[in-house]
Structure 1
Amino acid sequence: MKPMLLTLIARPDVEEVVIDWLLGREELTGFTGQAAYGHSREHGSFSLVEQVTGRQRRAMFHVQIDEAEAESLLAAMREELAGLGLRYWLTPMIETGVIV
């Protein structure tokens, strides 16, 4: 089984929904969340302040998952989190571990 890193990007108004959903998934042992900013040349959805600063606040989540479970997790997200505008990418991990 190859470890994968699933990165999710969410708007602030759906951050808690995503956190609750991830916490409810039995196949996940945990995840990391952090504040982030999205930058884009497409300012159609930016507020005036965001247009001036050139960024929008976002929440970013990192989930380590086995390759075999990744597709079923993404399928569940597409069904249960539809309409939230989540962005994601799935990246193979070369190595993972704990340094004690």
Structure 2
Amino acid sequence: MTLCLLTITTPSAVEDVIVDWFLEQEDIGDFNSMPAFGHGSHEGKMSVAERVTGRSRKTMFQLHLSLPTVERILAKLKKDFAGTEIHYMMSPLMRAGDLTAYEA
């Protein structure tokens, strides 16, 4: 099975909605979230303060999932959050798990 690391960056204003949405998905288990900042002119609708500082507040989520699950989740996100400034990155993941179950 091919594992992927799916990183999703959202405006902080929709963080709680995205967390709830992830928790409702049967094929998503544990995931991580952390504060982040977006930089650059591509950052869409930045406030005056964000334009002055050159960064906008974001929330970054990381999930490790199988490739078919990532494709399903991305399709659902595109449908349920059309028009929301959500950015994603998908990377291959060699291994993921808990150290309590780690065998060298």
> Does TM, normalized by the shorter one, top 0.5?
yes
1:60-79 equivalences in 2 (<5 Å): 60-79=60-79
TM-score of the aligned structures, taking structure 1 as reference length:
0.90
RMSD of Structure 2 on Structure 1 (CA): 1.5
SS of residue matched to 1:46: coil
The alignment covers a number of residue pairs equal to 100
Question: Tell me, what secondary structure is at the counterpart of 1:78?
Answer: helix
Q: The residue matched to 2:99 in structure 1 has which SS?
A: coil
Q: Distance in 2 between matches of 1:10 and 1:33?
A: 10
* Structure 2, unpaired ranges of 5+: none
Distance 1:8 1:29 in 2: 15
Return 5+ residue gaps in structure 1 as ranges: none
CA contact under 8 A between 1:43 and 1:51: conserved in structure 2?
no
Shift of 1:42: 4.4
Residue 58, structure 1, aligned to residue 58, structure 2: yes
CA spacing shift, 1:43–1:17, aligned 2, 3 Å: closer
2:36 matches 1:36 = yes
